[in-house]
Chains A and B, each alone.
Chain A
Amino acid sequence: MTERPFGITLEVGSSLANKTGSWRVERPVYVDRLPPCNDACPAGENVQGWLYQAEEGAYEAAWRTLVEDNPMPAIMGRVCYRPCETACNRAKLDEALGINAVERFLGDEAMAAGWELPAPATHPHPRRVLVVGAGPAGLAAAYHLRRLGHHPTLVDASEHPGGMMRYGIPRYRLPREILDFEVDRLLALGIDLECNHRVDDLAAAMADGGFDATVLAIGAQVGRRTYIPAGDSAKILDAVSLLHSMEGEEPPRLGRRVIVYGGGDTAMDAARTAKRLGATEALVLYRRTPERMPAHPSEVEEALEEGVQMRWLSTITAVQDGKLVVEHMELDDSAFPRPTGAFEEVPADALVLALGQDCDLSLLSSLPDVKVAEGLVDVGGDLMTGHPGLFATGDAVSDERTVTTAIGHGKLAARAAATWLEGRQWQHPPRHQLADFEHLNPWYYADAPKTLRPRLELARRISTFDEVEGGLDETHALFEARRCLSCGNCFECDNCFGVCPDNAVLKLGPGRRYRFDYDFCKGCGICVNECPCGAIVMEPEVG
C-alpha cells in the first residue's frame, strides 16, 4: 500500500484488458478474388501468379508457375491475341499491362538459360493414351498427360509437329527455331511422336495400339471454298494451302496483284505473306463492314501498316484472266449486306480464299457413337465424345480457333481423360468471385505507362520474313511486371497493418500475409477501404 504515490489506490493496468472487439457488428475478412487476366486466359494460366514472381526478379520461379498450365511460353508470347490484356484492370487507370511481352521475356529467358520443364510424376498405374494431332491442343494434352505420369503417344499426318503453329502461322509472327525448341523440350519429357502418320480409321487405331484412352486433336485443316465462276487460267487458291506451302521448298508464285477474300486473321496472314512474296498490291476484300471483321484488331492494324489494302462491302462474282468482277454491297435495314447491282473490274493475278476452315472428320466414320454437329465434334463439359474414353479437343470442338484456346483445351482434355481413367468424371474446379476494378483502391498504384515493344522498321518488315515484334529487355520486363495491380489477391503491401487505428491486424511475415485480431478489431472498415487490391470484405457478425 505505502509503495504507491499519494492518492493512488490501484496498480497501473494496460488497456489490453479492454477487448474492444465486442463493439463490432461487422468483421473484416481476407478474401482471394479471381483476377480478370486469369479469368480471361483461354489457356487457364495463373497470369497474376507468375507476374507476382516476376515482379521480384524471380524469373525462373515465374516461368515454372507459367508452365504449370502452358508448356510453350515463348510461342505464346508471340502469337497470343492477349485476351488477358483486354481484360486488364490497369487499362482503366492508364494502359493495360503488357502481359504478353513479359510472357515472351520469360519464355526467351527459359530458352537461353536452358530451364527444364518439371519432371513427370510417377503414376502408380500409368496408362497409354493416343493423341491424334500434334498441333497446340495435342501437344498440350500430351504434356499434361505425361506430367501426371501417363504415357501419351502423339501421331500427326504432317512431316513435322506443330500443326497450325507451323503450317498456318507465318514465320514473321513465329520464327521456326522458337517453335522447334519448345516442341522438342516438351517431347523430351518422354512423349512418343510419330509424324507422317495419318489416322484414317480412329476405331482401328485405338484398338490396334491397345490404348486406354484417346484424345482427338486434329484441328481444322480444310480451307473453305465458295463457288465463283472462273475462267480456265484463273489462279485461285485457299489461304490454308498458301500458308502451308510456305513451309515447302519452293515458295508459291502469286504474281504482282493478289486479292484475298475474307476478313479473319488468316486473311490478314495471307495478305501479309503475299506482300512478302513480292506482290506490289495485296488487297483484302470483305463482304461486310470493318466492324464485323473477325480478325483481331492488332492483326488488321499491322496489315494496314505494311501497306495491305482493304475494301469492305464487296463480293467477288466472277474470276477472269487477270481480273475479278466485284459487286458492291450495301447494308439493308437489318444491317445485313445486300447486292447493289453495281459491278467493277479489279485487276488480279491471283485470288486467295480465306473463308474459314473445316475439320476433316472422316476418321470418325467407324465410330457411330460419336456425334458431329455443324462440322464440330459433339462433346460434354468434360470434352468426352459419345464414345467412352474418346475425348476431342481444340479446333475440332471449338469455334474459338486460336493457339491459346487450343492449349487450354488440350490441358482440359488431358485432365478430363486422366480423371476418367481413374473411374471418375471431371468436374470444373470452383472459381473465385471476379476482382472488378470497382473492388480496387486505385489511389495507391504508382502511375506508370506501358512500355512499348520495339518494332522492326517497317521497310525491313515487309521485305523479309524476319520477326515483326521485338522482345523486352530485362529492365523493361521487370518494369512491366511491376505495373500489375494484383487485383483481388493480397500482395503484402502492409497497408491494412498500417492503417488500423486499433492495431488489430497482425503481420505474419513474408509470404504468410496477415491475420485480424478480433479481440480488438472494432469493425471500422478502414482496412477494407484502403486495401489497394480489394482483398478484404466486411461480413456481418453472427450472433
Chain B
Amino acid sequence: MNDYKSCFDPEQFQTNVNRRTFLGRAAYGLGGLALAWMLNPPKLLANATIPASGPWRGVVNPTHFPVRARRVIHLCMAGGPSHLESFDHKPKLEALNGKPFPDSFTKGQQLAQLQNTKLIALGPFCQFRRWGKSGQEISALFPNIGGIADDICIVRSMHTEQINHDPAHAFMNTGTRIKGRPSMGSWWLYGLGADTQDLPGFVVLTSKGQSGVQPVSARQWSSGFLPSRFDGIAFQSKGDAVHYVGNPAGVCQSTQRQVVEEIKRLNGMLADERIDPAIETRISQYEMAFRMQTSVPELTDFAKEPQHILDLYGVKHPGDGSFASNCLMARRLAERGVRFIQLYHRAWDHHNDIDRDMPVAAKDVDQASAALIQDLKQRGMLDDTLVIWGGEFGRTPMGQGSGRDHHILAFSVWMAGGGSKGGTTWGNTDELGYHYLADGQDMDVHDLHATMLYLCGIDHTRLTFHTQGRDFRLTDVAGRVIHGIVA
C-alpha cells in the first residue's frame, strides 16, 4: 500500500541534520545513539545500580557542599494563602481599596477566575505589626508565627508559572508542569537516602480546613520516573496510617511474625536454587514490611507525648488528622530519621469571604506551625531541620468580590532552621503586591529548590537522573542558589 508520495531521502536528511549541527542548533547528530548508550547505559542497566531494597545512601555521597539541613519539613498551605494578609504588608493597596486596579499592572497578564471582569483593588482586611528583635512584619492573623519571627526567614518575592491548583502543586513539587516527573521528596531520597530503615524516607500527611478546601492528588508525592522506592508514602488519617500496615483481624503480631518468617524461609529455598537478586530483595522487603508493622504503630502512638507538648501544638486529640496533630507527627518522623516530610493543609483557596475564612485557616495553622519550630529548637533539631511554609501560589491584590483570585507573580513563603537565615526578610514586591521585584532578590520555584538542595549539601546541577534520552534535574535548566537567605 505504498501510495504515498514520500520525500524521505536518508542522505539528504543526514546533510540537513549535519547542517543544523553545524549551525549549533542541535547538540547531537545522528551518531549519538551508540555513544549515548556507552556513556549512559540503557535505562535497565542504569536503574539496576539503584538497589530495590536495603540501605540506600543516596547518589550524592559524599555531599557536594557542607550539610546544613539533614531533613526537610514542608508545610504546604494548599490552596494558595494570601501574601497580602500574611507576610507582605501593602499600605498603598489599602489606600486603593475599592478603586479600579491600575491597568498598567495587569495588562496582558494571565488571570484565573478574574478573567473578563473589571479589576478592583482590595486592601488587606487585617493589621500588620513588627515582631521580635528583627522587627519582621507579619499580619495579626499569625501571632504565634510572629512570636518566632527571629527564627524565620520570610521570602516575599516568590513567583511561579502555574495558575491553577493542580498544575501549580505539580510545579512546586517537580519544577515542571509536565506530568510524570519526580516530586521534591523523591529527589531528596534519591540524592541522600534516609536515616531510617524502619520507616519510609518520604512521608506525606494531609489535613483539611473548614473552607477554601481544594483537592490534592497523590501524584504530588509520586517518584515519577525515579524508581518507586523513592515514592512518598501518604499516611492516612483514618484506619492504618500506612495502607495494609495492620495485621488482618485474627492474626496477632506473633503469628504474623511466623508467617513472615515462613515466607522468608521458603523464599530462601527458592533463592538457593536460582540466582536471582529479585528473590533476595523480596526477602529483605518482607523484613522491612514487618519492621514497618512495628514501627508505624510506635510512631503513631502519641501516648508518651506529655501534655505540655500537646498543648504547645494545640493538639486536642492526638492522631485526629488535624494540622496540629500532623505537625507533632512531623517532629516524630523527623526524630526517627525520615528525610522529607510534607504536610498539606487544604484550606487557603479564598475566592470569597476572605475576611471571614482566612482568619479561621490562619488560626488552624498558626500555633502548630510555630510550635513545630519551637519544639525542634528546644530539642536541638532546628539547626539541621529545614522547615518551609507556603502555598503553591499567592492571591491577587484585586478583589474577587469579597475574596482574592489565584496569583502567580508574587507570593510569600518562610523558612526556618537548616542553615536558613532567621530574622530576615528577603525580596520585595511592587507597591501593590502584584509583581515581584526583579531586584536580584526575586525567587522562583527553581531558585527555591536550588537553595533547599544547597542547604542539604547538594549542587542542584549535579543531582541528575538519566531517562528518556537525557539527564533530568529537579531544577530543570534553571535555578539559582539564593545565598542571601543562607545563614
A binds B: no
**Chain B residues at the A interface, C-beta cutoff of 8 Å:** none
**Chain A residues at the B interface, C-beta cutoff of 8 Å:** none
